[in-house]
A and B are shown apart, each in its own frame.
Chain A
Amino acid sequence: MARALRQQSLPLAEPAASKAPVTRAAGTPRLWFCVYLPELPLQACVRSSAASVVVEEQRGIHRVLLANEQAASAGIMPGQSANAALALLPDLKVVERSELREQQALEELATWLERFTSFVSIAGRNVLLLEIAGSLHLFGGLKKLRKRIAIELFEQGFSAALAIAPTPLGATWLARAGRRVCIRDKENLAQALRKLPLACLAWPPAVCEALNGVGVTTVGECLRLPRDGFARRFGVERLLQLDRAQGHLADPRSSWRAPQRFCSDYEMTEEQSDRELLLSLCHELLLRQERFLLTRQLGTQRLRFSFFHLKAPATELTLGCATAERVAACWQELLRLRFEQLTLPEAVIAIRLRGGATQAMQAESAHLEFTRKAGSTQRYSITQLAERLTARIGEQSVSGFETVAEHRPQLAWRPHNLLSGKAASTLVRLGRGLRRPLWMLPEPAVLSAEQGYPVHDGRRLMLLDGPERLETGWWDKDGITRDYYMAVNPAGMRLWIFRNRQREQAAWYLHGFFG
Chain B
Amino acid sequence: MRSNASSLDELLANPRLWRGREQAHAVPGLASGYAELDRHLPGGGWPQQALTEILIEQYGIGELQILMPALARLSNGNLEAGADPGWIAWVAPPLQPYPPALQQWNINLERMLIVRPRSDAEILWSAEQALTSGTCAAVLLWPDRLDDQAGRRLQLAAEKGASWAIAFRPLTARNEPSAAALRIELRSDEQGTHASILKNRGGRPAVIRGIF
Contact = CB atoms under 8 A, between A and B. Distances in A.
A382 B135 contact: yes
Interface in A391-415: 392-394, 396-403, 409, 412-413, 415
Interface in B100-132: 100-105, 108-110, 112-118, 122, 125-126, 129-130, 132
Interface string A465-497: 000000000000000000000001011111100
Interface of B: 58-65, 68, 82-84, 87, 95-105, 108-110, 112-118, 122, 125-126, 129-130, 132-136, 160-162, 187-193
A439 B109 contact: no
Contacts of A441: 95-96
Contacts of B83: 373
Given A379-B134, A381-B135, A393-B118, A438 B191 contact: no
B112 A401 contact: yes
A426 interface: yes
A439 to B, nearest CB: 4
A89 interface: no
Interface of A: 373, 375-382, 384-386, 388-389, 392-394, 396-403, 409, 412-413, 415, 418, 423-424, 426, 429-430, 432, 434, 436-442, 488, 490-495, 512-515
Contact of A424 (B64, B109, B118, B133): B109
Contact of A488 (B129, B187, B190): B190
Contacts of A424: 109-110
A401 B113 CA distance: 8
A426 B64 contact: no
Which of B60, B116, B118, B134 gathers most chain A CB within 10 Å? B60
B188 A439 contact: no
Contacts of B63: 515
Contacts, number: 165
A339 to B, nearest CB: 16
Contact of B62 (A380, A402, A515): A515
A367 B17 CA distance: 42
Given A393-B117, A403-B99, A514-B62, 10 more contacts: A392-B126, A393-B115, A400-B110, A437-B101, A439-B97, A492-B191, A493-B61, A494-B60, A513-B60, A515-B63
B59 to A, nearest CB: 6
A420 to B, nearest CB: 13
Given A436-B100, A440-B96, A492-B193, A401 B114 contact: yes
B96 A393 contact: no
Contacts of A412: 99-100
Given A397-B115, A400-B112, A382 B98 contact: no
Given A386-B113, A514-B60, A403 B126 contact: no
Q: Is the interface of B mostly helix, strand, loop or mixed?
A: mixed
Contacts of B101: 436-438
B65 A438 contact: yes
A515 B59 CA distance: 7
Given A380-B135, A393-B115, A514-B65, A402 B82 contact: no
A441 B101 CA distance: 13
Nearest to A494: B60
Nearest to B94: A439
Nearest to B60: A513
A431 to B, nearest CB: 9
Contacts of B112: 400-401
Given A393-B122, A493-B60, A413 B100 contact: yes
A389 B129 contact: yes
B98 A413 contact: yes
A270 to B, nearest CB: 36
Contacts of B132: 379
A392 B125 contact: yes
19 contacts: A380-B135, A382-B87, A382-B135, A385-B136, A392-B125, A400-B114, A401-B102, A409-B98, A412-B99, A413-B98, A413-B100, A424-B110, A436-B104, A488-B190, A490-B190, A492-B189, A512-B95, A514-B62, A515-B60
Given A495-B60, A515-B62, A389 B192 contact: no
Nearest to A515: B64
B97 A438 contact: yes
Given A439-B97, A488-B190, A418 B113 contact: yes
A492 B188 contact: yes
A81 B71 CA distance: 82
A377 B103 contact: no
A47 B157 CA distance: 48
A377 B160 contact: yes
Nearest to B193: A492
A331 B192 CA distance: 51
Nearest to A430: B100
A384 B191 CA distance: 46
A439 B135 contact: no
A515 B61 CA distance: 5
A413 B114 CA distance: 14
B96 A439 contact: yes
Contacts of B95: 439-442, 512-513
A198 B90 CA distance: 78
A402 B109 contact: yes
Given A393-B118, A403-B109, A441-B95, A376 B134 contact: yes
B115 A426 contact: no
B33 to A, nearest CB: 15
Contacts of A512: 95, 98
A415 B42 CA distance: 37
Contacts of A398: 113-116
B133 A380 contact: yes
Which of A377, A401, A490, A512 gathers most chain B CB within 10 Å? A401
Contacts of A382: 87, 113, 133, 135
A396 B116 CA distance: 8
Contacts of A413: 98-100
A430 B114 contact: no
